[in-house]
Each structure stands twice: as structure tokens, then as C-alpha cells.
């Protein structure tokens, strides 16, 4: 069967690509190996409100769990930074509902969408795909696509079959979280934890209502026994344990996220890579839902109208945000591997960067306060940062 576009993976990037390509008049086949698109959940389910508004997506009420008006950063169990800037307001979604909604929008646009269907082989002529075999609910079918959009995640099957690697193993964050019922009402904010007990990554409490949240950890590089580590951290951290105990887990979620930094619109021959398969996340926080959807829209339109435009168009649409995310991520990694800094200095400096209290190029100005953990000095230095509040860490 001849196709204009074959989309592999129906997360936000794949659904965006399938919808955009079909809307541009392409004959599109989109497949996802999961029996239920969107399940199991493999992320924290939170998206930035400003990016959501930019995307133009209208979320149905049942897809929204909660909204948060700011983000609170807990650093080294000694310092709290709260960023009330508009970029740190957020919406927590139900991915099982959102992903199926986006897949349905692709089908409504004219794409042929199939769950429980997986790519099994690619035939290549040099860098170009000439044909592909997909197993669609147990039945194998050979197709001949003009363009393939690889939106099949951080461990992309398409990338492996094509012999390319956009996400090195040491630039992948391994995460695990529990959806938990809290013992008391949660504040209307996302909470992020940077501390020695977490390692090169961060912990989080992402509300899904007043008495329910995703609670987890992610760490860059090889990470073992993550679920056991998460539970140990929940029990040990004084703030987290004040809200949750080990007897309140209603769902366990695990997943990996790419953090390589912005690579533009990666392609190989007639294959366009999008979403996690292309490292298209805000690398310093790992947020990928809306960036993946927007990049997928660009990939789908390029697949239908001219693949050579993909990189240029994507840089125009998302280059600034994704490039900045990569810059902050690189600065955090530099701090983490700086032998002149002790653990305390690393967590404070990483927190200043991650919370956007300090731009990457201005971090040296805060070296003295970082060395002494001088709260008064930090308050004075950060006094010009609009929407930022600094305090000693309190129990909750």
C-alpha cells in the first residue's frame, strides 16, 4: 500500500504530526504499539500554562486534574524559592484522556489511526525508507511511505532500525513516581526538590487535585531500583512525608525522558524525528507534552508539503524555548561536575538556574551567597527577580 506519511507512535508528537499531515491533504497511516493510546502513563502529567495557551489546545474538563499558579523549589532541605512568573503556572492533565483526545483529533483530520499496531521492519535504500512492515492487531501489512515520522519515544525503534542515535544513554533521565492520596490538603503549586538524596535530577510533587498527586524522582544517567528509591525518599523527606505515607499509592508510573538539548529537527533521509525521539523537551525540567505536540505539528506539515523545511520551520516555531532549555541544562551539568564545588553549592546553584532565578550567564555573581548559603544575601541579590520569593525551608 502506498502512503504519503507513516507515523510511528501516537503520543503528543505523533498525534500532532498525523493531524497536521492529514489536514495538509496527505494520506496518513499512524500506528501505536499500545493497546490503549496514552496508557500506561510514563510522565508527571504536568504542562506549562503559557505553552498550553500558545498551542491553542482546548482541553476538555475531564482531561484536567488541577491547575497551579506557581512553582516552589526546595533546595538542599534548607532553602525555598517560589517562582510566581507566568511561565511557572501549570496544568496537570490526565494523560490517558489527553493522548486519546489528540489521537482522535488526528483521526478526525483524516489520518488512519491504529492502536495495538507496531512497526516490525524497515527496508532502506541508503538513508531512505522504501517500505515498512507494520503488525496491525496481529496482521502484518507492508506499506510504502514517502515520508516516515518517528515519534516513538526516547528509545525509538525507528532510530535503531535506521542506525541513528539522537539520545545518548547518559543524556536520558530515568524516572519513577507514585500517584498518591495525601493526608492533608496540598498547596496550589508544583513542588520541585533538588538535594543530595535525589542526585543529578530532581524530585517532585505534582498535584492532581487537593488531596492527590504524582510524587516521584528522575535522575540523569543509569539509575537503579527507582521505585524503591522513590518510596525511601518519600518516607525520608520531611516535606514529602508530611503529605504522604506508604499506604496511599493508587498507581505506579515509570518512564524515561531525553535531556540532550535542542537538536533542531533531526532527520535522516525521508525520516523525520519528533518529540522524545528527537529530544524535543525543555531539557532542564524534562517537560515534553506540549513541546512534543507543537514539534509534531511542524513535522507533520513538513512531511506532507516538503521534508526539507522541517528543521528550518521547527527552529522558527520552538527554537527559542528549546534552545534556552538546553542552555540551562548544560549550565546545571557544568555545575554538577565542577570539582571545586561541594554538594551544598551544587544544589543551590542548580536550584537558582532551574527556578530561573538566575540566567546561566550570571551565576558567578551569586558565588558568595552560594558558598555561605546566606539567605539575606540571596534575598538582596534576587530582589530584582519579579515574582520570586526566597525563604528558609519550612516543613510544609
Query: Are the CB atoms for 294 and 265 separated by under 8 Å?
Result: no
- The CATH number that applies at residue 290 is 3.50.50.60
Q: What's the structural domain count of the chain?
A: 1
Instruction: Give whole-number Cα distances, 173 to 43, 191, 319, 320, 390, in Å.
Output: 11, 18, 22, 22, 28
Question: Would you say residue 101 lies in a domain?
Answer: yes
Q: Number of C-alpha atoms within 13 angstroms, CB side, residue 201? A: 27
pTM above 0.85, yes or no: yes
Q: Number of C-alpha atoms within 13 angstroms, CB side, residue 55? A: 23
C-beta neighbour count of 170 within 10 angstroms:
10
Question: Would you say residue 266 lies in a domain?
Answer: yes
Question: Would you say residue 195 lies in a domain?
Answer: no
Per-residue pLDDT of the chain (396 residues; tens, 9 = 90+): 899 999 999 999 999 999 999 999 999 999 999 999 999 999 999 999 999 999 999 999 999 999 999 999 998 888 888 999 888 999 999 999 999 999 999 999 999 999 999 999 999 999 999 999 999 999 999 999 999 999 999 999 999 999 998 888 788 999 999 999 999 999 999 999 999 889 889 999 999 999 999 999 999 887 788 999 999 999 999 999 999 998 899 999 999 998 888 899 999 999 999 999 999 999 888 899 999 999 999 999 999 999 999 999 999 999 999 999 999 999 888 888 888 888 888 888 888 889 888 777 776 655 555 555 455 555 555 555 556 666 555 544
Question: Would you say residue 219 lies in a domain?
Answer: no
Question: Would you say residue 240 lies in a domain?
Answer: no
Question: Would you say residue 358 lies in a domain?
Answer: no
| Structure letter (DSSP) for residue 282 | B
Question: Would you say residue 352 lies in a domain?
Answer: no
Residue 53: φ, ψ to 5°: -60, -40
* Domain that residue 273 falls in: 2-42+96-169+259-328
| Structure letter (DSSP) for residue 66 | E
| Residue ranges of E strands in the chain | 2-8, 28-31, 46-48, 64-68, 70-75, 79-83, 90-93, 112-114, 117-125, 128-136, 139-150, 172-181, 189-194, 201-207, 212-220, 249-258, 267-268, 271-273, 388-392
Using CA atoms of 80, 84, 85, 91 in order, give the dihedral in degrees to the nearest 10.
110
The whole-angstrom separation of Cα 241 and Cα 210 is: 16
Question: Would you say residue 8 lies in a domain?
Answer: yes
Inter-helix orientation angle 95-109/12-23, to 10°: 20
Q: What is the CA radius of gyration of the chain?
A: 21
Name the residue among 252, 241, 313, 237 with its Cα closest to residue 20. 313
Q: Is 343 helix (H, G, I), strand (E, B) or coil?
A: helix
Residue 283: φ, ψ to 5°: -60, -30
The whole-angstrom separation of Cα 389 and Cα 213 is: 24
The whole-angstrom separation of Cα 205 and Cα 237 is: 12
Task: Tell me, rounded to whole angstroms, the distance of Cα 37 from its chain centroid.
Answer: 17
Amino acid at each position: 500500500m502506498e502512503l504519503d506519511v507513516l507515523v510511528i507512535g501516537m503520543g503528543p508528537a505523533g498525534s500532532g504530526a498525523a493531524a497536521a499531515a492529514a489536514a495538509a491533504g496527505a494520506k496518513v497511516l499512524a500506528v501505536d504499539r499500545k493497546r490503549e493510546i496514552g496508557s500506561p502513563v510514563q510522565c508527571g502529567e504536568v504542562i506549562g500554562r503559557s505553552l498550553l495557551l500558545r498551542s491553542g489546545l482546548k482541553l476538555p474538563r475531564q482531561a484536567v486534574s488541577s491547575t497551579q499558579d506557581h512553582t516552589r523549589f526546595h533546595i538542599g532541605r534548607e532553602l525555598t524559592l517560589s517562582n510566581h512568573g507566568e511561565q511557572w503556572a501549570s496544568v496537570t492533565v490526565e494523560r490517558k484522556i489527553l493522548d486519546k483526545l489528540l489521537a482522535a483529533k488526528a483521526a478526525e483530520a483524516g489520518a488512519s489511526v491504529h492502536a495495538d499496531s507496531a512497526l516490525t521492519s524497515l527496508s532502506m535504500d541508503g538513508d531512505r525508507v522504501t517500505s515498512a512492515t507494520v503488525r496491525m492487531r496481529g496482521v502484518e501489512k507492508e506499506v510504502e511511505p514517502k515520508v516516515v515520522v518517528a515519534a516513538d519515544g526516547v528509545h525509538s525503534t525507528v532510530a535503531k532500525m535506521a542506525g541513528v542515535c539522537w539520545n545518548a544513554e547518559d543524556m536520558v533521565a530515568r524516572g519513577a513516581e507514585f500517584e498518591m492520596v495525601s493526608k492533608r490538603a496540598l498547596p496550589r503549586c508544583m513542588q520541585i526538590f533538588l538535594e543530595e538524596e535525589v542526585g543529578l535530577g530532581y524530585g517532585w510533587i505534582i498535584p492532581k487535585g487537593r488531596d492527590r498527586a504524582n510524587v516521584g524522582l528522575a535522575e540523569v544517567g543509569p539509575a537503579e531500583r527507582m521505585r524503591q528509591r522513590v518510596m525511601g525518599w518519600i518516607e525520608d523527606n520531611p516535606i514529602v512525608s508530611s503529605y504522604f505515607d506508604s499506604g496511599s499509592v493508587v498507581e505506579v508510573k515509570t518512564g524515561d525522558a531525553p535531556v540532550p538539548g535542542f537538536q533542531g529537527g533531526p532527520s535522516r533521509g525521508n525520516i523525520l524525528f519528533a518529540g522524545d525521539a528527537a529530544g524535543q523537551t525543555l531539557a532542564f525540567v524534562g517537560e515534553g507534552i506540549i513541546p512534543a505536540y507543537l514539534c509534531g505539528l511542524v513535522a507533520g506539515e513538513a512531511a506532507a508539503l516538503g521534508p526539507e523545511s522541517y528543521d528550518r520551520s521547527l527552529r522558527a516555531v520552538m527554537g527559542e524555548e528549546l534552545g534556552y532549555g538546553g542552555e540551562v541544562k548544560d549550565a546545571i551539568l557544568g555545575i554538577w561536575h565542577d570539582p571545586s564545588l561541594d554538594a551544598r553549592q551544587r544544589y543551590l546553584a542548580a536550584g537558582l538556574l532551574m527556578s530561573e532565578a538566575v540566567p546561566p550567564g550570571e551565576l558567578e555573581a551569586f558565588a558568595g551567597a552560594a558558598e555561605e548559603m546566606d539567605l539575606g544575601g540571596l534575598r538582596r541579590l534576587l530582589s530584582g527577580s519579579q515574582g520570586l520569593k526566597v525563604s528558609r525551608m519550612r516543613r510544609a
